[in-house]
Amino acid sequence: MEITDNHFHLDPEGRKELAVKDFLNAGGTRLVLVNKPYAPWKKIKDFKKQVEITLKLGQKARQAGAKVAIVASPHPIDLLKLLEFMNKEKASEIYLNAVDYCAELVDEKFIVGLGELGRPHFEVEDSIWSFSNQILKESLLRAKDVDASVVLHTETGTPDVMADLSQIASKANFPKERLVKHYGGPGAIEEPHGILVSIIASSKNIEYAANTKFDFMLETDYLDDPKRPGAVMGPKTVPRKTLKAIENNIISKEQAYKIHTDLPNKVYRSFD
């Protein structure tokens, strides 16, 4: 049986393949490896170097024995950091150039999708909020052009938040079955408005999600941060919680197949 952690980070200063081995030894088989901002950047060449780090970390994960799908994009917080140094026009140009670079990587089959795209997860002034939503829509249009999946980083999911994100996806004509709300909880899965929710793999979340009518995947959002070991959840969590949920009849083996094999295959299409 495949067991897929749908949102997993590795860090060049972290445990890297040792964390992957922990995941595998606990029963995991596949990782969605997500690019993260390793350091601030202002030039596209520096962003490309960061993506190269993620690609190399993906190779380390494969060498450790995991099947891996990589997603990469500039992070929503990167857009805010660019705005500290330049106006909106210049910031959007650089940010969307980074999105275009990742879209090229999808087209060339180095990665399977764009992520984390989205908007700030904390309160910002209205003009920044509108600007972030506009850039998200533009990014989804670029992702659609190369048939990419997209992983979303946003504020905490509620039915209203999911409705708003769904509306943005509709404006970009982006297929919602390939749009993943990462760091999901009960509010996101309560009414996801067509977007696929990736649930943080706590026992409580799994039990809640298993009793809804909506599909979901499971993730740890493991950060591999040496300053915060085990954050957000440790690498063993998804396999351990999945096997325990099956054992306790919280989810069936058929549900586990859908969570860990069927849905990730439809969203990301390729693990290698």
Tens of pLDDT along 38-72? 999 999 999 999 999 999 999 999 999 999 999 99
38 contact partners, CB below 8 Å, separation of at least 6: 11, 12, 50, 53
Residues 25-31, mean pLDDT to the nearest whole number: 98
Structure-token pair, residue 255 = 């549900």
Alpha carbon distances (Å) from 78 to 92, 203, 209, 272? 11, 32, 31, 29
**Assessment of whether the complete model's pTM goes beyond 0.95:** yes
Q: How would you classify residue 249: left for phi > 0, otherwise alpha for psi between -120 and 50, otherwise beta?
A: left
205 contact partners, CB below 8 Å, separation of at least 6: 184, 185, 186, 199
> How confident is the model at residue 212, as a pLDDT?
96
> How confident is the model at residue 180, as a pLDDT?
98
Tally helices (H) and strands (E) across the chain: 11, 8
Give the pLDDT band of residue 91 (cuts 50, 70, 90).
Answer: very high
CA atoms within 13 A on the CB side of 56: 8
> How confident is the model at residue 42, as a pLDDT?
96
Burial class for 82, CB neighbours closer than 10 Å (0-12, 13-18, 19+) = buried
Three-state SS for 258?
A: helix
> How confident is the model at residue 140, as a pLDDT?
98
Give the pLDDT band of residue 117 (cuts 50, 70, 90).
Answer: very high
Tens of pLDDT along 183-202? 999 999 999 999 999 999 99
Q: What's the chain's average pLDDT?
A: 97
For the chain, which residues make up each domain, given as ranges?
4-239
Superfamily of domain covering 4-239: Metal-dependent hydrolases (3.20.20.140)
Tens of pLDDT along 71-83? 999 999 999 999 9
Tens of pLDDT along 196-246? 999 999 999 999 999 999 999 999 999 999 999 889 999 999 999 999 999
CA atoms within 13 A on the CB side of 83: 15
> How confident is the model at residue 242, as a pLDDT?
98
